[in-house]
Amino acid sequence: MSEFDAIFVGAGHNSLACAAHLARKGWKTAVFERSAAIGGAVQTREFTLPGFRHDFGAMNLSLFAGSAFHRKYANELKNHGLEFAPAADCFASAFPDGKWFGVSNDLEKTAARLAAFSAEDADTWRRLVDAFPGEAEHLFRLLGSPMSARALTGMAWKLWRKKGIAGALDTGRLLLSSPRAWLEENFETPHVRATLAAWGMHLDFAPDIAGGAVFPYLESMANQSFGMVLGKGGADTMIRALAGMVTAAGGKIATGAEVAEITVAGGRATGVRLASGDFHVASKAVIAGVAPKALPGKLLPDGSGDAGFDAAMKKFRYAPGTMMIHLALDDLPDWSAGAELRQFAYVHLSPSLDAMSRTYQQATAGMLPDQPVLVVGQPTTVDPSRAPAGKHVLWVQVRMLPAEILGDAAGRIEPGPWDAIKDAYAERVLEIIESYAPGLRRKILGRAVFSPLDLERENPNLVGGDQVCGSHHLAQNFLFRPARGYAGWNTPVSNLYLTGAATWPGAGTGAASGFMLAEQLGGR
């Protein structure tokens, strides 16, 4: 048995950021991870062939590069090996009619592409880019602040002082709007709308869901203004640097160490019991980076002592699932819409807002979508070090998919468990990519397919293959993430806290929940 100031359940990037900050503040910290590797959904492994490094889940590290944690600890992270690979050509969409649109961090390039569709859309884009610094100040302040009455009051005051009543209401309207509403108000070209709406699908926001407009807005404006960054050599550069900070400050990280129970006495978390039977004591905090459903009856066998909280954790809603397909390639895809698409970090394949809405509805109804949204990552066009010389990796995220299959919208695959049908569905995905990039199959040297079930097996936080660890719809975001009264990473159990994508401010690689909790516990 060992005694620590803080014990962490799970070694995702939020837990590691929190542990690193607390360790730097003199806390004795320990991180226990059930898997053989740390990082949660941020890992890089050779899934296909030796020398081909594939990001398991997250690929884009822009949020971490711009995070408050990185601003504070940039030098230490660099000393522990953190390296970024910047992408100037950020994201694009290809369409069945042979057209494409993409956003680069060169405004004139993006505007010229827009003008080819619509001069009015090009003018709108310039106007939005010009206004973005002023708008981003308030949005990033919101996303980087605790959901406390004091913080919210201060933000509201600053917003009103800067923008007045009308401007503040405009910001509030953006936060409440659906992607379709915002896109149709601002752009007349269906191709442009679809390109930007694809970002909403990354965070469980189909085009007609309220509260989703802010994500296409922020992604498009931020990529235009700052570009995008990937991790040099793989996204795990971030995880290795965070782990280096923890251990350099005296913290402990143990893998293959599953926490079976969070021990509680007198309404206070006192430590953890590992599956091995070992007990470890935490004098100040137990911090669980887990999915909400893992708490009542599992990590807390007798519950939290608050029936309302336990019920909310059990009812926490997860987003539809995803499939990951990792390909080792002899060469990048030859996109029929234009060779320039080979330069982009991401190429989305989804023809319209209506197609995205239909895909989302099919998945939530338990059907295999006939035309899923495909996010095709081309990391080696940005960072060639991830593959042998002249070779490439392709990162394909398939959105959205049901956790349990009731049928096939295309009528071609018999319903069954994911283990039985994942390869057949992967073939559908490859057929779709091949229709945009003929000859892709001939370039495949190796492939690895992870169904929604496989993703959850790898990481129990990815419930049903949900890579954002819980729906971000308005009823489960802001003050309601993960539940009303518990948006401050607190629980009814004294000294027990939550962190990770299921808590405010949600999914992404920005380490915001971990760092804000660390500052709350250990000071700035």
Sequence-separated contacts (24+) of 427-435 with Cβ below 8 Å: 428/372, 429/323, 429/325, 429/372, 429/374, 429/396, 429/398, 430/325, 432/349, 432/371, 432/372, 432/374, 433/333, 433/349, 433/374, 433/376, 433/396, 435/96
Q: Where does the pLDDT of residue 150 fall: very low under 50, low under 70, confident under 90, or very high at 90 and above?
A: confident
Helices (H), 80-148: 107-117, 119-143
Q: Is the pLDDT of residue 195 over 80?
A: yes
Please check whether residues 349 and 415 belong to one and the same domain.
yes
Give pairs for 380-383: CB < 8 Å, separation 24+. 380/332, 381/332, 381/342, 381/343, 381/344, 381/345, 382/85, 382/86, 382/87, 382/230, 382/345, 383/85, 383/230, 383/231, 383/232, 383/233
Tokens at 36, concatenated = 């053989």
Domain boundary among 199, 228, 257: 228
> Does residue 91 fall inside a structural domain?
no
Q: What is the mean pLDDT of residues 382-402?
A: 98
What does the pLDDT look like over 486-515, one tens digit per residue? 999 999 999 999 999 999 999 999 999 999
Q: Are residues 326 and 313 in the same domain?
A: no
Whether residue 182 is found in the same domain as residue 259: no
Statement to judge: residues 287 and 399 lie in one domain: no
Q: Above 90 in pLDDT, residue 36? A: yes
Encode pLDDT of 394-425 as tens digits: 999 999 999 999 999 999 999 999 999 999 99
Answer yes or no: is 54 within a domain.
no
Q: Phi and psi for 75 in degrees, rounded to 5?
A: -65, -45
| Residue-averaged pLDDT of the chain | 97
Query: At residue 1, does pLDDT exceed 80?
Result: no
- Does residue 93 carry a pLDDT above 80? yes
149 — pLDDT class (breaks 50, 70, 90): confident
Q: Is residue 52 part of a domain?
A: no
pLDDT band at residue 153, thresholds of 50, 70 and 90?
confident
CATH number, position 281: 3.50.50.60
Domain extent for 417: 322-458
CA gap 273, 276 in Å, rounded: 8
Domain end position, chosen among 458, 486, 512: 458
Residue finishing a domain among 458, 484, 509: 458
**Same domain, yes or no: 313 and 428:** no
Same domain, 215 and 279: no
pLDDT higher than threshold 90 for residue 162: no
User: Of all residues in the chain, what percent carry a pLDDT higher than 70?
Assistant: 100
Task: Please state, in angstroms and rounded to a whole number, the distance separating the CA atoms of residues 204 and 96.
Answer: 24
Give the mean pLDDT of 132-137. 93
**Structural domains counted in the chain:** 3
Please write the tens of the pLDDT for every residue from 444-467: 999 999 999 999 999 999 999 999
Pair (251, 266) in one structural domain? yes
pLDDT at residue number 155: 83
Q: Both 327 and 453 in a single domain? A: yes
For 373, counting Cβ atoms within 10 Å of its Cβ (0-12 exposed, 13-18 middle, 19+ buried), the class is buried
Please give the average per-residue pLDDT across 6-32, as a whole number.
Answer: 98
90 located within any domain? no
